[in-house]
Amino acid sequence: MKFKYIALEGNIGAGKTTVSKMLAERFSAKLILEEFADNPFLPSFYEDREKWAFPLEMSFLAERYQQAFDNFPSPDLFTDVAVSDYMIWKSLVFARINLKPIEFDLYQKFFRIMFERFPRPDVIVYLNKSTDKLLENIQKRGREYEQQISPEYLQSVHQSYLAFFKQLTGFPVLMVNTNSSDFIANPRDLENLIALVSRTYDNGIHYLNLDELSV
């Protein structure tokens, strides 16, 4: 495997955790999963975004810092493959759309101080799905507090990711169209994704279509 540290990304309901587990198993890689299920602010946030956005984003920032501290200093990170279901900059992507400008400015300062020395991924793989597909997946997995997520919010999250990726430098970002993919029901979809991740890419954004591959 060319890349030693692969970060999976995508909108809410894109299947990041499922695919990360599959890739980690295939590559016998260190698996790093975001821990958010017990976040006490999430249900309140989806009921009143303006009131709960700042405590929610600060709690995520603290949790991701703790995870990074626990996982990334490991000396074997760069000799073995590591797969994560999020990138460290995810905090900034969501904070930009959820926080007021004055709150976001403060948030960025905390982020820079906390994450300055942690390693960056060698590649980001963004699982791109339509809003309809995301809403379908969110409904299927049945988290009660997520059922209030609107199509408009999902679209704003996607646009925030795109804007952020355009300013990243130093490594490739693979925007992979997975709209017709089902990694659980169709093993070929995973093989196609592995084929894409195994290629060599220049730095910058690459738009790829998983549906057009056949391996």
Structure tokens belonging to residue 126: 């963004």
pLDDT of residue 7: 96
Q: Across all residues in the chain, what is the average pLDDT?
A: 90
What is residue 206's predicted lDDT score, i.e. its pLDDT? 96
Measured distance CA(130)–CA(133) in Å, rounded: 5
| pLDDT at residue 112 is higher than 90 | yes
Q: Over pLDDT 70: what percentage of the chain?
A: 93
pLDDT the model gives residue 35: 76
Per-residue pLDDT tens for 41-58? 988 998 899 999 999 999
Write down the pLDDT at residue 61. Answer: 92
Buried b / exposed e across 108-132, counting CB within 10 Å, b at 16+? eebbeebbeeeeebbbbbbbbbebe
What is residue 96's predicted lDDT score, i.e. its pLDDT? 95
160-171 pLDDT tens trace:
999 999 998 889
pLDDT, tens only, 77-102: 555 789 999 998 999 999 999 999 99
Rounded Cα distance between 86 and 41, Å, is 19
Residue 74's pLDDT is: 58
pLDDT given for residue 145 in this prediction: 85
Q: Is 182 considered catalytic here?
A: no
Residue 75 clears pLDDT 70, i.e. is over it: no
Does 214 have pLDDT greater than 60?
no
pLDDT score of 142 more than 90: no
Alpha carbon distance 161, 6 (integer Å): 17
Residue with tokens 């490594």: 171
Q: Which of 38, 85, 122, 202 is catalytic?
A: 85
Q: Which residues contact 138 (CB under 8 A, 6 or more apart)?
A: 12, 13, 146, 147, 149
CATH class for the domain made up of 5-212:
alpha beta
Q: Which of 57-61, 76-80, 103-107 has the lowest mean pLDDT?
A: 76-80
Full-model pTM: 0.91
